[in-house]
Structures are given as C-alpha cells and as structure tokens.
Structure 1
Amino acid sequence: MELAKTPGAKRNPNAKVSRLRKDIVMNKYVYLMALPVIAYFLIFHYAPIGGLVIAFQNFSAFKGIGGSDWVGLQHFQDFLTSPYAFRVIRNTLMINVYQIIFGFPAPILLALLLNEIRVQLFKRAIQTISYMPHFISLVVICGMLVDFTQSEGVINDIIVFFGGERANLLMDTDLFRTIFVSSGIWQEVGWGSIIYLAALSTLDPHLYEASSIDGAGRFRQLVHITFPALVPTILILLIMRMGHIMSEGFEKIILLYNPLTYETADVISSYVYRRGIQEANYSFGAAVGLFNSSINFIILLAVNYLSRKYAKESLW
C-alpha cells in the first residue's frame, strides 16, 4: 500500500539557497575573512589549470595558446621514450620512499619522546631547538651542506678522526640521497612534531592515572594510550604524504646536485626545469608535470580507499 505524501514532505528547491543566504548574513565577517584564502586558491591553483592545454600543443609565446599548433600526446611520448625518463622517475621514487621510511616516523618519535618529558623548561628548550632549522632559508641550509661536505669540511674532519679518508661527499653518487634525506629530516623533524603534540594534548590525563593504578608503567602507557591516540593523525598525514610520492621540489636538488651526480640526484622536477625552463620548452614541461600530477592523484585515491576500507580513516 502506497502512503500518501504530505505537503510538507515535498522538498523546496530554494531551501538550500535560502539557508546559505541566511548563513552568510549571520556570519558575514567569517566569510569576509575567508575571501582572501578563497581568492588565493582560485587565482593561483584553479585558474592555471586552464594552461595545461599547452601540454597538448607546440606552444609558442608569440602565437599564444589560441594560435599554437596541436600535437596531441607527442610530448608525453617524448618524455616516456627519452633515455632519461627511467632515471628521473626512479630517483624521484627512491628519494620519496626514503623520506617516507626514515623521515615520516621521525616527528612521531620526537613527539612521543617530548610527551614523556616532565620538566617543562627542558621540554620547551628541546622544542625550540628542534623547531629552529625549519625557519632557516633553504639556500642557507644548502650552503651549509656544501661547506660541511667538502673535503676540508667538518664532516670529513670527523671521518679522518676515525681513520677515514677525505673526499667531497656531494660528488659521490652513492651518498647524495643519504645527504639529501638526512638533512631534510634534521630541518623538518621539529616542525613536523607540532601536529602530533597537538593531538596528544587532547588526551584525557585520567587515562594515565587509571592505567597507573592498574599497574601500567610508562612504556605500557606509551604503547596502549599515547600511540593509539596518534593513529588517526598518522593515517591522515600518511595519506597526504603518499599523494606526493612522485613529486620532489627542484629547489634543493638544484642547489646540491651537479652533472656528476645526475645518476642518483636528477629527479622529475629538476629535469623539467632544465628542459622546460632553461630550454624554453614549455609544452614539454607542462606535459611532464601533468603526467606527474596524474600519477600522484591515482596513488592518493588508492591509498585513501585502502585506509578507509581497512583502517576506517580517510580524507573523504
């Protein structure tokens, strides 16, 4: 038997618009504060998407997007069949995998250790010292690395003290990834721990008191109370980090590498910089960037799906 529909059950198509208008009036200052952020993303993140069309053109700055010749997937084919494609893809993946394996857990461990410190003055001092490298300019960081790794640098002084020989470490292809990843961990470990410390600050202290009464020591409290509280945050950040596994900024790479270390140091972004910017091959650079972003997007979707299915945590 079909139930009769009441007049109130009929949806008003203008109800959502009316609610939105009322919400804007009630929270007009909040929306005003949000306008610069919205404008930033529209101008610098969404508007440039239209420029990706040059990836399918033989773009000429004199002809413009409308007058440039269409070449279809020619630039994608040129990249994937080039002798450098495998090298830059491998190096990009390797550096990111190392950063995930060694760099991603580092701020988690630091946050857990800081959370166990009971002397607040000492805790704040350690936090301040660990945060400081994040605020140093990348150019300065790379300059320090170049000086420290030279044959007469402080790192070689330590190596010689233990019986080793002097060498320019940045010229060694086998050491480039180690120097790159370890210096990144040193620079960002303190800053990255902030979000985990914020998550730990929401923990109810009565949980520790109850577990202490039950006979749990500091290590058991860490394993059964502190770390589980971080798991949702860890999963969300890991999903976001996996979405960048095919991306590595060219700035630090270019400041540290040289032709002798291209074999292990040249990544997609630095290769695009040389081909797309220095050689003014903008269409090729756009094609490689689009390919790179597409792979990242697919990986992000896959990791988010797996996390939602098995861990019940996801970005959406």
Structure 2
Amino acid sequence: MTQLRTDAEAPAEPPAAPSPRRRLRTDRVLLLLAVPGLLYFLVFHYGSLFGNVLAFQRYVPFLGIGGSQWVGLDNFQRMFADPRFWSAVGNTLLIAVLQLVFFFPAPLALALLLHSIAGDVLRRFVQSVVYLPHFLSWVIVIALFQHMLGGAGVLNGALADLGVGGVHIIGDPDLYRPLVVAQVIWKECGWATIIFLAALTQVDQQLYEASAMDGASWGRRLWHVTLPSIRPVIVLLLVLRLGEFLSIGFEQFFLQRQAVGPEVGEVLDTFVYYAGFADGDFGYAAAVGLFKGVIGVALIYAANKIAHRLGEQGVYRG
C-alpha cells in the first residue's frame, strides 16, 4: 500500500525571488557607489566615441561638426603616406614589445617572491614599499630619474669623484627605450602584483604538500603546481594587455620627448597630441586615434580566440 507523505516529509518550496523593486531598494547603497564609475565610462569612453566622426572631416572648431567639411578617407590617406606617422608606429611597437617581454612577467615574479616570504610582518612591509611608486605622478618619476641619471645627476657626480667620464643616460637616444621600460617596471610593478597575489592565495595548499612529499623541488612545484593553477589569470591579463598594445602611455613620453628628439621619442599618443593641438589638424589626429583603436580591438579579439584554443575562458565567450 502506498503511504501518504506527511506535511513534515514534503519538500520545502524554494523561496520566491525578490521583485526588482525590492532588489533596488535593498542594494541601493551599492548601486549609488557604482554610479560615479558608470558615469566615468559613459562620458569619457563611450560618449567620446561620437568624436570619431572628426576623422572623416576637415574639422574647424569654430564651425563645429555640423559646419566642417566632409573629406571622406582623405585623412587616412594622408596618414598612411606620412613618414612621421610610420616612425611613431615603429617606436610604439618596439616599446610595446619591450614592455610585454620585460614588464609583463615582472609583477608575476614579484608576486611569487612576496608569496614565498614566510613572515606576515615582513611581507606587508615589502608590499607597502613596492606599492608606493604607483601613487607618484609621472612628473615626479621623471624628475627622480633625471636627478639620478641626468647629466648633473647623482650617477655622474659619483663617476666624476672617481675620475671617470660622465654618461648622460636620460638624453641618449640609444638608451631611451630600455630606460622607459625600466621606469614602467619601477613605477607599476608593485601595483600590478595585486591580482597575481590574489590568485596565488586561491592555490590549493594540499597540492604543495603532496608534491613536497613526492620529492618535488621548489622549481618543480612552481612549474607544475603554481603556474598551472594561476594560468587563467595570466592568460586573462595577457589578453587585456594585448588590447592596449599600442596605448603605452602619454605623460611618460611627452615629458621626455624633447630630450631625445621625435625620431626616437615620438609614440602614437604624443603624435596625436602634436597633430591635433600643436598643429591644429584635429581631423588628422582623430584619424590616427581611430586607427589605433581599431588595431587594439583586432588584437584583443585575436588574443581572445587564441586563449579559447588554449582551453581558457579569456575576456569573453564566443
């Protein structure tokens, strides 16, 4: 005989989902905190996209977008025929490759070093020290390097005391590219370790213990446990970095461009500034900026596809 299920034995019904109005009322504080960030992206990132129409005009500020002459693709034809543009592209690509090769692994190496420090007090102290340069403006950073490595800097003063000829590293075009990469590493390496340190805390400690019991050395545990565990984070950050491959910065290069000359110190961001604001050719500058944005989108799309082929999620699905 089939027994009747009592009310106590009946499965509990899942709670009803809160209504959208109730969720808005409950999360109103969090939503208000998100408003400034949302407005920032809407105004300065998405709103500025409408300014790309200048790339197809001979824009005159006094006439505005509606009164300026439409020139179609003339600005892009000028851009591809301009040797100054290709010089800026070459400098940008070379510095971007150097940053990808030397700067991108540096935060990971620093995070592994900080993660291996046993004492919590020492770890916090080192983290605080390496984070500090991030909060300095590029004006202060360039001034510090100028005082250390400039013609009248500390290094040349020490060499003069030893009777050795001085070196002017800041103004040497051959040393300019390694110098700017070293500046980025010194300023941003500590701050960039935050994400890697957060990923390292999620690694299962039992994997380390099991590999140590099997006789694996520190290098083996690093290669077979640590790096595979944080590989999704590494791939994600690499995809995002490739999306900004041509956006290597403005202030850092603008402040040092005159010291080495535009042949070595000109990058796309400074080229857009001088073409638009110094020469008043806003349509041409907008065309260069649009070209850089399109290349960035293509790079992040290709890198995301490669991440999917490697079995990682990447930035987005599809």
> TM-score, normalization: structure 2?
0.87
Instruction: Give 1:240 shift.
Output: 0.4
1:204 maps onto 2:190 in alignment: no
Q: Does the CA-based 8 Å contact 1:56-1:71 persist in structure 2? A: yes
Whether contact under 8 Å (2:150, 2:170) holds in the other structure is yes
Aligned residues of 1:250 and 1:273 also touching (Cα < 8 A): no
Question: What's the counterpart of residue 189 of structure 1?
Answer: 189
Q: Provide Cα deviations, 1:136-168, integer angstroms capped at 9, x if missing partner.
A: 121100111222222231233566688863132
2:146 counterpart residue number: 146
The aligned residue for residue 106 of structure 2 is 106
Compute the displacement of 1:98 (Å). Answer: 0.2
Write out aligned runs for 1:105-144 (5 A): 105-144=105-144
Q: How many Å separate the matches in 2 of 1:142 and 1:258? A: 13
Q: Deviations over 1:54-90 (max 9, x none)?
A: 1111111111111111011111111211121221000
* Cα distance change on mapping 1:22 and 1:119 into 2, 3 Å: closer
Equivalent AA in structure 2 for residue 98 of structure 1:
L
CA distance, structure 1, for counterparts of residue 134 and residue 259 of structure 2: 28
**Aligned-pair distance for 1:91?**
0.2
Counterpart in 2 of 1:250? Answer: 250
Map Cα deviations across residues 121-148 of structure 1 (whole Å, 9 max, x no partner).
2222221111111111211001112222
Shift, 1:24, TM fit: 4.1
1:64 aligned partner: 64
Match of 2:169 in 1: 169
CA displacement at 1:25 relative to structure 2: 5.6
Preserved contact between residue 150 and residue 171 of structure 2 (Cα < 8 Å): no
Tell me the equivalent position of 1:304: 304
Deviations 1:215-268 (A, max 9, x none): 233332222222222211110000000011112222110111216432221111
Of 139-148 and 32-41, more deviation after overlay is shown by 32-41
Partner of 1:271: 271
CA distance in 2, matches of 1:242, 1:20: 38
- The answer to whether the 8 Å contact 1:56/1:283 transfers is yes
Distance 1:189 1:197 in 2: 12
Secondary structure of 1:257's partner?
A: helix
State whether residues 85 and 271 of structure 2, in contact with CA within 8 Å, keep that contact through their aligned partners in structure 1.
no
Contact 2:235 2:312 in 1 (8 A): no
SS state at 1:175 partner:
helix
CA distance 1:147–1:259, change in 2 (3 Å)? closer
- CA RMSD in angstroms comes to 2.2
CA contact (8 A) 1:111 1:193 kept: yes
Residue 233 of structure 2 aligns with which residue? 233
Residue identity opposite 1:70 in structure 2: W
For residue 230 of structure 2, give the secondary structure of its aligned residue in structure 1: helix
The equivalent of 1:10 in structure 2 is: none
The residue number in structure 2 matching 1:6 is: none
Give the match's secondary structure for 1:84. Answer: helix
Residue pair 1:172, 1:261 contacting (<8 A) in 2 also: no
Letter paired with 2:82: S
- Whole-Å Cα distance in 2 between the matches of residues 92 and 81 of structure 1? 18
| Structure 1 SS opposite 2:312 | coil
How far apart, in 2, do the equivalents of 1:45 and 1:151 lie? Answer: 40
Aligned to 1:221: 221
How far apart, CA to CA, are the structure 1 residues paired with 2:59 and 2:219?
Answer: 61
TM-score, L = length of structure 1:
0.87
Aligned-partner SS, 2:167: coil
The answer (yes or no) to whether the contact 2:150–2:169 under 8 Å persists in 1 is yes
Q: Secondary structure at the match of 1:168?
A: coil
User: Does the C-alpha gap of structure 1 residues 192 and 290 become closer, same or farther in structure 2, counting only changes over 3 Å?
Assistant: same
Tell me by how many angstroms 1:176 deviates: 0.5
Moved more, 50-59 or 27-36: 27-36
Measure the CA separation in 2 of the matches of 1:66 and 1:110: 52
For the residues of structure 1 that align with 2:259 and 2:169, how far apart are their CA atoms? Answer: 14
Deviation digits for residues 278-302 of structure 1 (CA, Å, limit 9, x no counterpart): 1222111111100111111111111
Change over 3 Å in CA distance of 1:55–1:20 after alignment to 2: farther
The count of residues paired between Structure 1 and Structure 2 equals 299
C-alpha contact (below 8 Å) 1:176/1:261 kept by paired residues: no
Q: Distance in 2 between matches of 1:127 and 1:184?
A: 17
Contact 2:243 2:299 in 1 (8 A): yes
Contact 2:170 2:259 in 1 (8 A): no
Q: Which runs of 5+ in 2 are unaligned?
A: 1-17
Q: Which moved more, 1:151-160 or 1:282-291?
A: 151-160
What does residue 39 of structure 1 align with?
39
